Amino acid sequence: MRRNQFYIGDAPRAHIRDFWKEQLLALQAPYGQERTVAEYETDIANLRDSLNDEFPNAISCRISHAQKSIGVFLKHLWCMELVHVPPQCPVDAKILAAAGAVYPATNWGFVDTLNEHRAKVAILEAAKNQAAPHLSLAEWELEAFN
């Protein structure tokens, strides 16, 4: 088996997955109401910190990993009408490219700080404001991604 920096071994995999799932499920209730970008960013940082604290020798969770998992989770819940419109959307290379960004601006997987995350979101906001200023970022991403 080929191993890379993201290989975590078989033993802790289920525990990591279950812990991550619990952390995401705990976010469903708060997002039943409108949340601010600041609250969303706090949730991203908290998820990253929780995963790194719980599994210091198994994984290295970044802001980009936490935001993508929270963003996709909330997007699915929102599409099922179980939560309010998320304050942001999942950020990745595909949506950054759809917003007109080119490499290296589309590189999102190694985002380590909220300021770096905000720079990626600013690219999306600019594209959204040009194409559909009446939509929220989450609504624009849903249309642009499909």
Q: pLDDT (tens digit, 9 = 90+) per residue, 93-112?
A: 999 999 998 998 888 888 99
Q: What is the pLDDT of residue 10?
A: 52
pTM score, whole prediction: 0.88
Least Cα distance to 77 among 35, 133, 129 occurs for 35
Q: What is the pLDDT of residue 130?
A: 93
**Banded model confidence at residue 5, pLDDT cuts 50, 70, 90:** very low
**Banded model confidence at residue 3, pLDDT cuts 50, 70, 90:** very low
Distance CA 121, CA 119 (A): 5
Distance CA 125, CA 61 (A): 25
Whole-number CA gyration radius for the chain: 16
Least Cα distance to 116 among 74, 67, 71, 47 occurs for 67
